[in-house]
């Protein structure tokens, strides 16, 4: 296969009959890696559920705080799974912003992972234009095959498998990931990634939950789930808080533990982060675990 030239999008096969969650999120965040079908669906969602855009920004705010915390703890390489398009406020931007604040040379390496071909293609273009190709890469891989995902990330030569990694699973795990037999495989896939991580690694998770929310908010989330399921963009599963906690397995939970995403370590917020508030702060449950 000929090497792709910088500035040219890789050839991809794209099905535009249905919206993509990754591209809809890009639309909400002000990006350009979205199509009319994504924008139309995104607007339909907002018309019925205006809180959706704030949910997307709350996930991004948690990512900002989690990345900054991990970098301060010595993490210098990140694996961002289900990254969509890393537009403003993405992992490499956050890490490099902190380096500038602390007057250190930017050194953090980031491997983005997504299985949406448009997201992967636009990530290639974005990293060519505004990234550092010696430190930033994207791979087309699927959470349902964690061994292959890990191997592709290592093959970029940006991820050193013997050094601690910051694994980011932000706003991803409430999307159902059925295996070939139609069985949900998120818990098993996350467990395998935890197993592959070296000691000293961190895992950050943010996840929508309808557990313990007021009745009207629960009804809103049920309606949102129905709309997302019908769209063909992917079924969703609002796990219980206990179910979300279990995704970290036996990792040691980093203080202050599991919290609403917008309340997790507010002191870590970077200067360019866009803050947000939700009508019910406990819709998104977030936490970080450390291995070893």
**How do residues 57-76 score in pLDDT, each as one tens digit?**
889 999 999 999 999 999 99
Helical segments of 197-279, H only: 215-231, 241-246
**Which SS3 state, helix, strand or coil, does residue 189 take?**
helix
Domain assignment of residue 104, yes or no: yes
Instruction: Identify the domain containing residue 217 by its residue range.
Output: 50-290
Q: Are 103 and 193 in contact (CB under 8 A)?
A: no
Domain assignment of residue 205, yes or no: yes
Q: Are 125 and 36 in contact (CB under 8 A)?
A: no
Q: Terminal CA-to-CA distance of the chain, rounded, Å?
A: 41
Most confident range, picked from 76-80, 126-130, 209-213: 76-80
DSSP 79: E
| pLDDT(3) > 70 | no
**Which SS3 state, helix, strand or coil, does residue 243 take?**
helix
Domain assignment of residue 182, yes or no: yes
Sign of CA dihedral 217, 268, 62, 289: negative
Say if pTM beats, i.e. exceeds, 0.95. Answer: no
Q: Of the given ranges (34-43, 138-147, 229-238, 247-256), which has the lowest mean pLDDT?
A: 229-238
**CA dihedral angle for residue 216, residue 217, residue 220, residue 225, rounded to 10 degrees:** -140
Domain assignment of residue 176, yes or no: yes
Domain assignment of residue 262, yes or no: yes
Domain assignment of residue 31, yes or no: no
118 vs 126: CA distance, rounded Å? 12
How far lies 190's CA from each of 33, 44, 140, 150, 287, in Å?
27, 32, 18, 12, 15
| pLDDT(200) > 80 | yes
| pLDDT(17) > 80 | no
Q: Report the domain count for the chain.
A: 1
Q: What stretches of 100-179 adopt beta strand conformation (E)?
A: 109-114, 136-140, 166-170
* pLDDT bracket for residue 266 (50, 70, 90): very high
Domain assignment of residue 273, yes or no: yes
What CATH number is associated with residue 127? 3.40.50.150
Q: Are 97 and 270 in contact (CB under 8 A)?
A: yes
Domain assignment of residue 6, yes or no: no
Mean pLDDT of 27-49: 87
């Amino acid at each position: 296969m000929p090497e792709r030239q910088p500035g040219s999008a890789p050839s991809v096969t794209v099905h535009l009959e249905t919206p993509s969650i990754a591209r809809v999120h890009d639309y909400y965040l002000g990006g350009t890696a979205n199509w009319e079908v994504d924008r139309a669906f995104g607007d339909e969602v907002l018309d019925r559920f205006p809180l959706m855009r704030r949910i997307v920004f709350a996930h991004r705010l948690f990512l900002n705080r989690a990345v900054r915390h991990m970098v301060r703890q010595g993490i210098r390489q990140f694996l961002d799974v289900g990254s969509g398009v890393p537009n403003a406020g993405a992992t490499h931007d956050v890490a490099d912003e902190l380096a500038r604040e602390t007057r250190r040379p930017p050194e953090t390496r980031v491997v983005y992972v997504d299985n949406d071909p448009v997201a992967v293609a636009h990530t290639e273009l974005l990293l060519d234009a505004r990234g550092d190709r010696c430190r930033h890469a994207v791979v087309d891989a699927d959470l349902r095959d964690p061994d292959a995902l890990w191997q592709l990330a290592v093959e970029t030569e940006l991820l050193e498998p013997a050094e601690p990694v910051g694994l980011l699973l932000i706003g991803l795990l409430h999307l159902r990931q059925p295996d070939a037999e139609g069985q949900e495989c998120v818990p098993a896939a996350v467990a395998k990634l935890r197993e592959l991580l070296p000691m000293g690694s961190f895992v950050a998770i943010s996840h929508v939950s309808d557990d313990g929310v007021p009745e009207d908010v629960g009804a809103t989330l049920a309606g949102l789930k129905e709309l997302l399921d019908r769209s063909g963009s992917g079924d969703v599963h609002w796990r219980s808080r206990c179910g979300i906690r279990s995704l970290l397995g036996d990792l040691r939970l980093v203080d202050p533990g599991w919290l609403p995403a917008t309340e997790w370590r507010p002191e870590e917020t970077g200067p360019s982060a866009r803050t947000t508030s939700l009508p019910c702060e406990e819709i998104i449950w977030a936490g970080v675990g450390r291995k070893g």
